[in-house]
């Protein structure tokens, strides 16, 4: 099975490593990475043992086991503290890393620039363009006198050279998105840009008026209105104002489904499902919401709701594919031993391929090989 395009195995999106002759920069680069997700810190926090992780990573880890993933020391979620200094360091490192990568590369021989005429050299400046006369002569004094011209469109002829000053301060181009409205190029009716192609295919019918909802379910949009009602958003389209403070975890054993629905409704989240579904949804939301307060670059509530919806849909897909059974099997020691016995040959093959890949990488750094890496295939 070809896994060369697998997102987890593709090396195209990984940042370029520092050369081996700069071990200090490599060590500094590794110190900016969370040991759980292996990505640069996002909202870094520090726990009681002194180790730092992404806020969402350590909160999710503590839901499974109340121990530090690095030193195995017993910790609780109450010991999580935001690390502002580390966040500043990570932001500065992310901005300066590409420049340091370029500076750390060995010098390259630059090819000599091809010989060009004075007209091509003047065009590369991007401000002034000299048009030579048919005789091909150019005078620097003429160019200098032309540069002192007051009007940007004024031209001056001196020694058979015409120097034109071009004003490059053009108007900014307005960038539109699919949600913005624009007129149809045929009938000039205003509508969202994403609806224009279908509107033209249908022969430019007159656009329908938007239904107004005054607290009553609209006839043309009942499905969307009922969806808002069940999600707690109401019919006005405005979500409830959410107080941006940490959510305290409820006692799930003592909480009834109505209690869980009340908490979910406060944040305009879906309230459908049985108690295990509501509990799982609330646990995921608390992790997203509380970790979002630990960063200087917080996401919007709509973005958090989108992440929650994507997480739930991913879990449903895994359940349909039977992956839940494998996860439950790995939760016990007997199941883990059985799985390791069944996959022993696969693990051994992966181990050999990783050793060979590391050897090729080391040879490439020492100049003994081509350094070409192949993606590891996972069945």
Where do the domains of the chain lie?
1-106, 118-165, 222-321
On the CB side of 239, CA atoms within 13 Å amount to: 16
For the domain made up of 1-106, the CATH class stated in words is: alpha beta
**Confidence at residue 50, expressed as pLDDT on a 0 to 100 scale:** 93
Q: Full-prediction pTM beyond 0.85?
A: no
Residue 238 DSSP SS3 = coil
Q: Tell me the average pLDDT across 105-124.
A: 60
Lowest mean pLDDT among 228-232, 268-272, 294-298: 228-232
Asked if residues 292 and 298 have their Cβ atoms less than 8 Å apart, the reply is: yes
* Average pLDDT score over residue span 118-137: 48
Residue 165 and residue 136: Cα distance in Å, rounded? 20
Phi, psi angle pair for 28, to nearest 5°: -65, -40
pLDDT on residue 194: 76
106 compared with 142, residue with greater pLDDT: 106
345-366 average pLDDT score: 84
68 by Cβ neighbours in 10 Å (0-12 / 13-18 / 19+) ranks as: buried
- pLDDT band for 163, please (50, 70, 90 cuts): very low
Q: Measure the N-to-C terminal CA separation of the chain; round to a whole number of Å.
A: 7
């Amino acid at each position: 099975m070809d896994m060369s395009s697998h997102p987890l195995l593709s090396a195209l999106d990984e940042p370029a490593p520092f050369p081996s002759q700069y071990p200090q920069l490599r060590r500094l680069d590794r110190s900016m990475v969370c040991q759980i997700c292996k990505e640069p810190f996002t909202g870094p926090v520090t726990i009681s043992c002194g180790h730092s992780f992404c806020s969402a990573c350590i909160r999710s880890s503590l839901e499974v086991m109340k121990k530090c993933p690095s030193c195995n020391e017993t910790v609780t979620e109450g010991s999580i503290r935001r690390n502002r200094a580390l966040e500043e360091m990570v932001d500065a490192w992310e901005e300066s890393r590409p420049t340091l990568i370029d500076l750390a590369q060995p010098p390259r021989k630059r090819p000599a620039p091809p010989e060009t005429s004075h007209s091509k050299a003047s065009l590369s400046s991007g401000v002034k363009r000299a048009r030579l006369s048919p005789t091909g002569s150019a005078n620097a004094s003429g160019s200098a006198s032309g540069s002192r011209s007051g009007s940007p469109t004024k031209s001056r002829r001196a020694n058979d050279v015409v120097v034109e000053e071009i004003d490059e301060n053009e108007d900014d181009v307005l960038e539109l998105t699919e949600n913005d409205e624009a007129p149809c190029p045929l009938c000039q009716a205003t509508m969202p840009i994403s609806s224009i192609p279908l509107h033209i295919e249908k022969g430019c019918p007159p656009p329908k008026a938007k239904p107004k909802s005054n607290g009553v379910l609209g006839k043309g949009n009942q499905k969307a209105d009922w969806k808002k009602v069940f999600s707690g958003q109401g019919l006005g389209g405005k979500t409830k104002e959410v107080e941006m403070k940490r959510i305290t975890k409820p006692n799930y054993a003592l909480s009834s489904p109505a209690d869980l629905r009340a908490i979910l409704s406060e944040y305009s989240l879906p309230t459908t499902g049985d108690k295990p579904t509501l509990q799982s949804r609330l646990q995921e939301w608390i992790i997203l919401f509380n970790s979002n307060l630990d960063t200087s670059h917080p996401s919007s509530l709509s973005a958090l709701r989108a992440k929650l919806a994507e997480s739930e849909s991913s879990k449903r897909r895994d359940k349909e594919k039977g992956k839940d059974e494998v996860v439950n099997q790995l939760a016990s020691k007997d199941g883990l031993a059985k799985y390791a016995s069944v996959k022993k040959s696969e693990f051994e093959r992966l181990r050999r391929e990783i050793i060979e890949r590391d050897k090729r990488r080391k040879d490439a750094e020492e100049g003994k090989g081509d350094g070409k890496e192949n993606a590891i295939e996972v069945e």
